[in-house]
Structure 1
Amino acid sequence: MGLEIERRFLVTNDGWTSQAGPPQPLRQGYLASSAEGITVRMRLRGEDQAWLTLKASADPSGIARHEFEYGIPVSDAEDLWRLAPHRLEKIRYALDLPGGEWVVDCFAEANAPLVLAEVELMRADDALEIPAWCGREVTGQARWSNAVLASDPLQSWGAEERQLWGFR
C-alpha cells in the first residue's frame, strides 16, 4: 500500500522561481470524492502521460494519505476528463530544495491566482526548513485539497472568505 506524506503551504511571493524546474501542465478530473477524504482522480501531464489515482486519509492530521496510482493510456484519461464532474488545471514546478520533494502548483481558471507549495516527506516527523516564500500552512485543511478546489474553486468563494485568506 502506497503512503503519501505531504505538507502544504500557501505561497506568498515568487521567491521560489529561481529554484523551479520546467513547467508541467496538469489537468485533474475528479471522478468521485467523499466527505471522509476518499478521492478517485485522473491526471494528465501534458499530452503524453496519464494516471488514475485513489487517495484516502491515513491519519487524523491529514499529513499522511494512502495513495494508489496507476499509469493509464492518455486516450482513456481524455475520456475520463470529459466524464469528470469536477476538474482543475494547474502548472506544476518541481523545485531543487533540500528536505523533501518540493513542488509549487500555480492554479488556473477558477482557482487563479492560487499558488500552493507541497513537500513530500519520508516520515511525518521529518525536520523541515520552510522557505521564506511559504505562508500559512494548510496541511490537512480540506478546503485546500485539489478535490475540493475542483468542486468549490477559489473564485466561487465569497469576497469575505477570499479576503480572509489574502485573495481579492
Structure 2
Amino acid sequence: MALEIERRFLIKNDNWKKFITKKIYIEQGYLSNSLEGWITRIRLTSKNSKIALKKHIKGFTNFEYEYSIPRGDAEKIMLNLSSKIKKERFFLEVKKKSWIIDCFKENNYPLEIAEIELSNEEEDLFLPSFISEEITGMTHYSNFSLANNPFSDWKEDFLKTFNSN
C-alpha cells in the first residue's frame, strides 16, 4: 500500500524562493464529485500524465496510488472535466528536507501552499521562516476543494482572517 504522510502550510513571505531546486507546471482535474471516499485525479505535467486514487485514513495520512497513463487519454479526460486546477510547483531543499510550494493559477491565484512529506506522523519538523499557519486537514484548502470552490470565491474572508494573525 502506498501511504502519503503530508503536512500543509500557508506561506507568509517569499523567503522560500532562495531554496528552489526545480519547478514544474501542473494541470489536474478530478473525476470524483465528493471528498467522501476515494478521490480520483488526472494530472498532466510537461513530462508525464498520471491518474491517482487518494483516500484519507487519519491525521495527515492518506492512501495514494498513482499510475502513468497515455498522454492522449489523459488529455481527452481532462477536456471533459469541469473540476480543474492549474499551479506551478516548486521543489525546495531546506535543512536537508524536501519541501514543495504550490503557487496556484487562475481562479486560485494568489494562493500559495507549502507541503512536506514525512516518514511518520510523529516526525519532528523544523518550520522554515516562510511558513505561516498550518492547514493540514482543512479540507477547503485541498486541491479537490479548490477545483470545485476556487480561492477567488472565498479569498476576502481568508484575507480578513490571515491579516488578523
CA drift at 1:37: 5.2
CA drift at 1:90: 0.2
Aligned partners of 1:70 and 1:152: how far apart in 2?
Answer: 26
Aligned to 1:76: 73
Residue-by-residue CA offset, 1:87-110 (whole Å, 9 max, x unaligned): 000000110124643100000000
| Identity across the alignment (%) | 36
Residue-by-residue CA offset, 1:35-94 (whole Å, 9 max, x unaligned): 325310000112x301100100111x2x00000100111111111111222000000011
Aligned to 2:8: 8
In the superposition, the TM-score normalised over structure 2's length comes to: 0.93
Aligned to 2:156: 159
State whether structure 2 residue 103 is matched by structure 1 residue 106: yes
| Aligned with 2:119 (options 122, 127, 145) | 122
In the superposition, the TM-score normalised over structure 1's length comes to: 0.91
Structure 1: runs of 5+ lacking an equivalent: none
* CA RMSD, 1 decimal: 1.5
Structure 2: runs of 5+ lacking an equivalent: none
State whether structure 2 residue 106 is matched by structure 1 residue 136: no
